[in-house]
Structure 1
């Protein structure tokens, strides 16, 4: 009787009462080689894999450091092999993980990360990368989160790490080619007038249409303004200014510009340097003369906020009500820097 066409083997168990005999030809003869093939991993090479594997058939390849596979039973056989990772061979496929699962090395992670590593010391490297010709890693991640970079031919010399609570630090240079946004200490803000604004026959302070910047509570800012203005008639209405700020905040300010009372004849020989300290009300003003030619004023100061956030807004008007009108020009601007 010919051997069965399949290498799978069903073992036959005779009745224990002796009423059935074991048939050597059918039950045992020439079948043990098939048992060897059906049980455990079959040794083969990458070019001699079984051509008709059954579903679940395991193999190991002697020519690839014993890469291991099992067949999912589909056809063709060449596409049915599913690789099983092992410590001997280099894994040659993509591993897929379900959402919420993780790869654990050393121990499981305390957070829902995809990869969890538990080294023995904070200075241990948990990630390192280099190109083929490198003698050392170009980039490493340490167990304490420190990042280090290098050329690949010498020890890394550039770093970024946590130096204190809520603080990242580098011991090296940092160059930013695009924008750097800072919301805390060191924040810089800028605003400019996009259109001329004219006040006529009005000496009551009003909010500027453009020069306003937001400020946070419990902070200290320095500010500077470059103001450009003209008047239809030399040094008649002139210009006065102050600010509004959040409740309980105070500001100091000083300015340099033309004197508001000496320039009645249109000369440009007198200026003034005036200041106001610890001001909490827009009632404290600085006043400057304005001529028919473009007049420039520089104003500097410091703003201290307490428990209330809000806006810091330029207010201005004519120093003396006059029908000729005073114009604050487009391009005038204000900057603020948070210093504490």
Structure 2
């Protein structure tokens, strides 16, 4: 009776007391066959993997371009195989990377990236995608960050790239279906009155309830207002306006509407352009005549900001205090565009 076998390779050996002769087919030939299969990667096919592998058993498959696996020792054996990536075969499993670890191609990567690539030239493509029937990639990423898109059947014709410091550019058309928000030059802000507001017997400027917009330090804006007004009595109290702005800011403005001092009672046939330049809001007012019918006024101007941010606020009142009341109507609006 031979001594107990090893658990890993199941090798047989003769008795240690010398009473047994060595059995070549069993003790030598059979054992070395098991050593051959147990040491290193065992060749097999995807359908003939070892049925009872030990934990750590490595294999490679000759029918799948030499995919490599090891057994993790769990049962059943068919579910114990863990694929090992190699350069001969296409990896056929999910590869999970621990948090904080990286995939680096070409060199050690920056600590700020999970995938780091080091191509040889800025025009090298580091990522591309296409569907099965495509002849060229529909989408590519170049080493310099340029993005290119195409139909998949011709050279890509749409792009997005960095053209200068702090500048993103496309050589093609750009369409926004929803909202586009710009905080710097090109920003457009809009506000409208949501309810009527009436001032009675008061010629002192007061803040409008709705028409106010935020403005940034050291910026330059143009502004435009469409104001719709009525008065209980034709051209008596009328309307005057100005703005408040942050410390150090200056603005100029001009407007078109009925002139308050050139109108005769009960008529609305006279109107003219009125302009006003100012260094502070307190020194600049525009006055317009207001009738019992809806009266419209258009005001334009420019705001030059200093180092203090804040709000650009419409102020208005009656041009002459009158008990009949002047109303600035809902729907009156103000738009500001940042130009510098």
Q: TM-score range by the shorter chain?
A: over 0.9
Residue 23 to residue 180, structure 1, CA distance change in 2 (3 Å)? farther
RMSD over aligned Cα atoms: 2.2
Contact 2:242 2:286 survives alignment (8 Å):
yes
Give the drift of 1:73.
0.4
Structure 1 270/49 Cα, relative in aligned 2: closer, same or farther at 3 Å?
same
Aligned to 1:198: 198
2:22 maps to 24
Report the equivalent of 2:189: 189
Residue 252 (structure 1) aligns with: 252
The CA deviation at 1:112 is 2.5
TM-score (norm 1): 0.94
SS at match of 1:31: helix
Residues 71 and 22 of structure 1: CA distance in aligned 2, closer, same or farther (over 3 Å): farther
Residue 105 of structure 2 corresponds to which residue in structure 1? Answer: 105
Counterparts of 1:22 and 1:240 in 2: how far apart (Å)?
Answer: 123
- What SS is found at the alignment partner of 1:327? strand
* Paired position in structure 2 for 1:157: 157
Q: CA deviation at 1:22?
A: 8.9
Normalised TM-score (structure 2): 0.94
The 3-state SS of whatever aligns with 2:37 is: helix
Deviates more, 1:328-337 or 1:105-114: 105-114
| Contiguous gaps of at least 5 residues in structure 2 | none
- Does the aligned pair in 2 maintain the 1:68–1:84 contact within 8 Å? yes
Alpha-carbon separation, structure 2, partners of 1:285 and 1:277: 9
SS of equivalent to 2:36: helix
Give the stretch that moved more between structures: 21-30 or 67-76.
21-30
Q: Aligned equivalents of 1:153 and 1:139: distance in 2?
A: 12
CA contact (8 A) 1:101 1:112 kept: no
SS in 1 for 2:282: coil
Counterpart in the other structure of 2:222: 222
- What is the Cα deviation at residue 267 of structure 1? 1.3
Map residues 26-105 of structure 1 onto 2, 5 A cutoff: 27-105=27-105
Aligned 1:129-140 pairs, distance under 5 A: 129-140=129-140
Shift of 1:24: 2.3
- Within 2, Cα distance between the matches of 1:250 and 1:96? 60
Deviations 1:180-233 (A, max 9, x none): 000000000000000110001000000000000000011110000000011111
Q: Give the secondary-structure state (helix, strand or coil) at the position aligned to 2:277.
A: strand
Deviation at residue 282 of structure 1 after TM alignment: 2.5
The 3-state SS of whatever aligns with 2:78 is helix
Q: CA deviation at 1:273?
A: 0.9
Please, which runs of 5 or more residues in structure 1 have no aligned partner? none
For the structure 1 residues 255 and 140, does the alpha-carbon distance in structure 2 shift closer, same or farther, using more than 3 Å as the test?
A: same
Residue of structure 2 equivalent to 1:8: 9
**Count of residues in correspondence between the two structures:** 337
Shift of 1:131: 1.0
Contact 1:231–1:291 (CA under 8 A) maintained in structure 2: yes
Aligned counterpart, 1:117: 117
The superposition leaves residues 149-187 of structure 1 with CA deviations (integer Å, 9 ceiling, x where unpaired) of 111111111100011111100011001101000000000
Deviation at 1:13, TM superposition (A): 12
Structure 1 residues 21 and 265 mapped into 2: Cα distance closer, same or farther (>3 Å)?
A: farther
Which residue of the partner structure matches residue 237 of structure 1? 237
Could you tell me whether the CA contact under 8 Å between 2:229 and 2:327 is conserved in 1? yes
2:185 paired with 1:148: no
- Following TM superposition, by how much is the alpha carbon of 1:263 offset from its aligned partner in structure 2, in angstroms? 2.5
CA distance in 2, matches of 1:8, 1:79: 21
SS of the residue aligned with 1:24? coil
Distance 2:133 2:239 in 1: 70
| Contact kept in structure 2, 1:274 and 1:286, CA below 8 Å | yes
